[in-house]
Amino acid sequence: MAGLAYLGTHYTIYTAVGYLLGFVVSYVLNSIFTFSGTQLSHRTFLLFAGINGCLLIFVEVLQFSLIELLAIPELAGVAVGMVFYTLTGFFLNRRFVFRQA
């Protein structure tokens, strides 16, 4: 994300690229380390994809609202989106994707 931002890419593009690249890595690492014992399956991946895809859309709208409509500096707007995505994603994925049996 930082590299694309440095190159002048619009924040909606560099945040989407960053989140999507981190998406697959996050699924695998969460299933192995954070929520160990969860079986990787098509069902859990699709659920993870659905939750995180919706979060990405929400974050893009949140960032647009903060940066374009409220004139908050880009870095601050992106940071708010990152914190929201991380915290909300953790709790939703723990509750619905990586549930312990």
Residue bearing the bigger pLDDT, 97 or 58: 58
Give the pair of three-digit tokens for residue 65: 């609202």
CA–CA–CA angle 23, 8, 73 (5° rounding): 85
Which range has the top average pLDDT, 11-25, 30-44, 69-83, 86-100?
Answer: 69-83
Query: pLDDT, tens digit, for every residue of 3-20?
Result: 898 999 999 899 889 888
Is the separation of the CB atoms in 15 and 55 below 8 Å? no
So where are the chain's domains?
2-97
Q: What is the pLDDT of residue 69?
A: 96
Residue 100 has pLDDT above 70, yes or no: no
Output the CA torsion sign for 7, 13, 26, 41.
negative
Give the DSSP H/E element, type plus range, for residue 48: helix 42-64
What is the value of pTM for the model shown? 0.76
Which tens digit of pLDDT belongs to each residue from 17-64? 988 888 888 888 877 887 776 677 888 889 999 999 999 999 999 999
The whole-number pLDDT of residue 26 equals 83
The Cα 29–Cα 25 span in angstroms is 6
For the chain, where are the alpha helices, taking DSSP H only?
A: 2-6, 11-29, 42-64, 74-92
Token pair in block for residue 78: 């992106």
